[in-house]
A and B are shown apart, each in its own frame.
Chain A
Amino acid sequence: GESVGLHLPTLSVQEGDNSIINCAYSNSASDYFIWYKQESGKGPQFIIDIRSNMDKRQGQRVTVLLNKTVKHLSLQIAATQPGDSAVYFCAEYRLRADGLTFGKGTHLIIQP
């Protein structure tokens, strides 16, 4: 069946290091892949997305990489800061279905 999943439920990194959060997907028909950040007590917030015909997209301190060969998506956060501590979700979007399917989430913990 269709699924969007994350490899690890918790990721702990040192402040200042780079973080890499991974996501595997199974539906090749997705049109976009999206990363959301959810801080404690808040709803998910859009971080960055990537169209399915792209390999890489960069934002402010974040980079998303898409490997369609192995159906793998990653979010890289440069110079991780305490404010990056949150749960990160990947999601897939299909234009025809006009809906998002979410992965289960990775909790990013920042060590001082």
Chain B
Amino acid sequence: DVKVTQSSRYLVKRTGEKVFLECVQDMDHENMFWYRQDPGLGLRLIYFSYDVKMKEKGDIPEGYSVSREKKERFSLILESASTNQTSMYLCASSLGGRGYTFGSGTRLTVV
């Protein structure tokens, strides 16, 4: 069964902390994506990557960075967490095209 695995289901971090959200896929997909999901706003694209060591900004990249050192792993980094980054974070991967596979999400609370 193909999977996108997000390392944490729930995280609580303090304001100003550096936070790492990890995502691993076992499908040999080229493309990986990070979204955040907020009530009333749906899913918004933060960053995406089409290849190793490659990254592109999505619609809301401010306050975030990403790392893709290996094909299967795409990390989202909050350099200095703030309370407005409290959200559900979803990772997805695709081979190319519209067939996205999502992880189960990481619910991050910044206090």
Chain A residues with CB under 8 Å of chain B are: 9, 32, 34, 41-46, 49, 89, 93, 95, 98-100, 102-105
Question: CA A99 – CA B42 in complex, angstroms?
Answer: 15
Could you list 12 examples of A-B contacts with CB < 8 Å? A32-B98, A34-B98, A42-B105, A43-B4, A43-B103, A43-B104, A46-B100, A95-B97, A98-B31, A100-B45, A100-B98, A102-B44
B43 at the interface (CB under 8 A from A): yes
Chain B's closest residue to A51 (CB) is: B98
| B90 with A98: CB separation less than 8 A | no
| B98 with A93: CB separation less than 8 A | yes
Q: Which A residues lie within 8 Å of B40 (CB)? A: 9, 104
B41 at the interface (CB under 8 A from A): yes
Report if A42-B104 is in contact (Cβ < 8 Å); known contacts: A93-B98, A98-B97. Answer: yes
Report if A89-B104 is in contact (Cβ < 8 Å); known contacts: A34-B98, A98-B96. Answer: no
| A43 with B98: CB separation less than 8 A | no
Question: CA A104 – CA B50 in complex, angstroms?
Answer: 25
Q: Which A residues lie within 8 Å of B48 (CB)? A: 99
Chain B residues with CB under 8 Å of chain A are: 4, 31, 33, 35, 40-45, 48, 50, 90, 92, 96-105
B67 to chain A, nearest CB (A): 20
Report if A102-B43 is in contact (Cβ < 8 Å); known contacts: A43-B4, A44-B90. Answer: yes
Known contacts A43-B90, A98-B97, A104-B40; 8 additional CB pairs below 8 A are A34-B98, A41-B104, A43-B102, A43-B104, A89-B42, A93-B98, A95-B97, A98-B50
Q: Which A residues lie within 8 Å of B42 (CB)? A: 89, 102-105
Chain A's closest residue to B50 (CB) is: A98
Question: CA A103 – CA B41 in complex, angstroms?
Answer: 8
Chain A to chain B: the 8 pairs with minimum beta-carbon distance, closest first: A43-B102, A104-B42, A102-B43, A93-B98, A102-B42, A44-B102, A43-B104, A32-B98
A63 to chain B, nearest CB (A): 19
A67 to chain B, nearest CB (A): 20
